[in-house]
Amino acid sequence: MHTQLTKLIGQRFIYQGKVWIIVEILREEDALAIAPEQAAQNQRIQADQYGNATRRCGHCKTLPLSNPDNPDEYSAEVMELLEGRIGETQPGQG
């Protein structure tokens, strides 16, 4: 079920009044990581405490993927996010 969401990584969504981008599907945590559009586009590289390069992205949110009452369904948070998908505009359609 969550495999289909990987196709949406990098897509823009309106969620709780802000524009967010899906940045990662966290299968082990059964979660979806989103970042504000402005922060995701900034993409500054910063080394972590071990010297590994990582992307600096403030204010990321993690949403639960599965509905706790029915693991075969997406959570209410993910459904709200998906309802706010911003379609890609074609050149010339502004």
Q: Considering just the CA atoms, what is the radius of gyration of the chain in Å? A: 15
Give mean pLDDT, residues 55-74. 85
Domain segments of the chain as ranges: 2-83
Alpha helices in 48-90 (DSSP H): 76-83
Report the C-alpha gap between 89 and 94 in whole angstroms: 7
Mean pLDDT of the chain: 82
pLDDT for the residue 93 = 47
pLDDT at 55 over 80: no
